[in-house]
């Protein structure tokens, strides 16, 4: 039985795997490396009220890490991406392939080898 309800087809790429705010944060971190919270809100142009909860989630899910810095009596977070953009893309592709194989079984594998032969 094909598990059609598990398949989610879209052309939006990353934004489908991550929420739009998560994707904006990760793109900013991939281009800048380390960033503070205020740098992130500035770069993504998303207000803190929307960014803060998403940052907590990304840290919990293991996509970013953060450390606490205390400089001149001010406390701040510094964020860093855990995976590079390529590593994240590879993880996502693997997950999508897993779900294709889970839903379509041998048919998915067969089509995939046809596809790579064509290439």
User: Which residues would be at the binding site for other proteins (CB under 8 A)?
Assistant: 37-38, 48, 51-53, 55-56, 66, 68, 70, 73-77
Q: Which residues contact 65 (CB under 8 A, 6 or more apart)?
A: 59, 79, 80, 82
Compare residues 54 and 88 and give the one whose CB is closer to other proteins.
54
Task: With CA atoms as reference, report the closest residue to 64 among 94, 50, 84, 46.
Answer: 84
Compare residues 38 and 90 and give the one whose CB is closer to other proteins.
38
Strand order in the sheet with 35-36: 35-36, 74-81, 64-71
Radius of gyration, CA atoms only, the chain? 18
Compare residues 54 and 104 and give the one whose CB is closer to other proteins.
54
Closest distance to other proteins from the beta carbon of 32 (Å)? 17
Closest distance to other proteins from the beta carbon of 15 (Å)? 21
Compare residues 39 and 85 and give the one whose CB is closer to other proteins.
39
Closest distance to other proteins from the beta carbon of 55 (Å)? 4
Closest distance to other proteins from the beta carbon of 50 (Å)? 11
Copy the structure tokens of residue 113. 């080898």
């Amino acid at each position: 039985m094909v598990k059609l309800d598990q398949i989610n087809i879209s052309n939006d790429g990353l934004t489908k795997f991550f929420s739009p705010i998560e994707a904006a944060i990760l793109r900013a971190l991939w281009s800048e490396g380390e960033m503070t919270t205020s740098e992130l809100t500035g770069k993504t142009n998303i207000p803190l009220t929307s960014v803060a909860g998403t940052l907590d989630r990304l840290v919990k899910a293991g996509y970013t890490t953060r450390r606490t810095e205390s400089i001149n009596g001010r406390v701040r977070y510094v964020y860093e991406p855990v995976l590079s953009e390529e590593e994240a893309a590879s993880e996502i592709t693997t997950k999508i392939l897993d779900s294709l194989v889970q839903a379509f079984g041998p048919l998915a594998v067969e089509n995939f080898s046809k596809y790579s032969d064509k290439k």
